[in-house]
Amino acid sequence: MAFAPMGPEASFFEVLDRHRESLLAALRRGGQEPPSGGSRVASSSEVLVSIENIIQDIITSLARNEAPAFTIDNRSSWENIKFEDSVGLQMVSHCTTRKIKSDSPKSVKKFALILKILSMIYKLVQSNTYATKRDIYYTDSQLFGNQTVVDNIINDISCMLKVSRRSLHILSTSKGLIAGNLRYIEEDGTKVNCTCGATAIAVPSNIQGIRNLVTDAKFVLIVEKDATFQRLLDDNFCNKLSPCIMITGKGVPDLNTRLLVKKLWDTFHVPVFTLVDADPHGIEIMCIYKYGSMSMSFEAHHLTVPAIRWLGLLPSDLKRLNVPKDSLIPLTNRDQMKLDSILRRPYVTCQPFWRKEMEIMADSKMKAEIQALTFLSSDYLSRVYLPNKLKFGGWI
């Protein structure tokens, strides 16, 4: 096929290939379960009918002289979340709910805003047009107050209707980047080639619409931070370890970056690794890619990739590589609280090696950024650390 860059000799990938075989064997043993519950890709007519039913319920309440209310699943409580190793964090089928009442001073504005955005969604679906969350915010920025209000309401509506955000004809602006051994065609027919150069390709805003994906990649590397991603690009990492794919969500990943990682896994089943800072924030970001988040647990089946492995930076690497203490950063109280929170989460019980790494961090009371490796040499990350980890199976 296909891709010009020449990487290391075939023997370099032997451990990676065995890892892929074990992942495929696990899939065959478990069977690929179809999504059950949660959100789904619904047809336009289904979405329209669902919204019409909600409006009909409001009219019925008014006819009875009752104050209308929206009933929304409570996505902020761990009581409503269950964990399955094959899926990640997902909502329980009979979870507690909260009422958004039209006669309560505390919630009447939110009731009105939900109704307004439902009306906008109805028009979008009916006319087969799309809008971004930002577009919706700017239709009346004074009324909404800030973008977060719009984002939360759209998630509430998606959860309430049990359909994906894409089915609501609402798109997110992508902030993520992708580079490496990948080609695909976008919904409008644009051909995209991500082969690594000095620049990367923006993650598409419509992941569902991309098709004809082609790759020879042996692995996908998710990089937490844009600065590290750009440094690896500058070091020609993709070509030196070709064939591979690199992705960054530039910190906490947006929906489209998570959807793309999921699509690559579902399509090619190549090993996926994360490269994050050895700190609680980096671990949190890795957990979002692998197991999902509480707030988006109703979309877990479309977003999570439990096969992801932690490649680095491991807290145990800091001692192994003799990273000097002046390159480390003391944990703050906030860091400690975040670390304690992660250690209490249900998925940590099935990840004893992760727990051990987090306990090393907790005991040392120190954290480190990936840049701490530059004390060894400026290109140590791309020239030594990552190649050795990938060649010899240094992931957990």
- Mean pLDDT over 300-326 rounds to 91
Give the closest residue to 327 by CA, choosing from 288, 279, 375.
Answer: 375
315: Cα separation from own chain's centroid: 23
Note whether 286 and 308 are within 8 A (CB): yes
**pLDDT (0 to 100) of residue 34:** 40
**What was the pLDDT predicted at 164?**
80
Delineate the domains of the chain, giving CATH numbers in brackets: 44-171 (1.10.10.10), 173-392 (3.40.1360.10)
Check pLDDT > 50 for residue 351. yes
Q: Residue 41: which pLDDT band, with cuts at 50, 70 and 90?
A: low
pLDDT at 301: 80
Mean pLDDT of the chain: 89
Q: What are 244-266's pLDDT values in tens digits?
A: 999 999 999 998 999 999 999 99
Query: Which residues are identified as catalytic?
Result: 138
Residue 39's pLDDT band (boundaries 50, 70, 90)? very low
Query: pLDDT value at position 159?
Result: 86
Residue 146 banded pLDDT, cuts 50, 70, 90: very high
What is the C-alpha separation between 225 and 212, in angstroms, rounded? 28
Find the range with the poorest average confidence among 173-177, 268-272, 309-313. Answer: 173-177
- DSSP assigned state of 204: P
> Cis peptide leading into 113, omega within 30 of 0?
no
The pLDDT value given to residue 196:
59
What confidence category does residue 47 fall into, taking pLDDT thresholds of 50, 70 and 90?
very high
Mean pLDDT of 213-238: 95
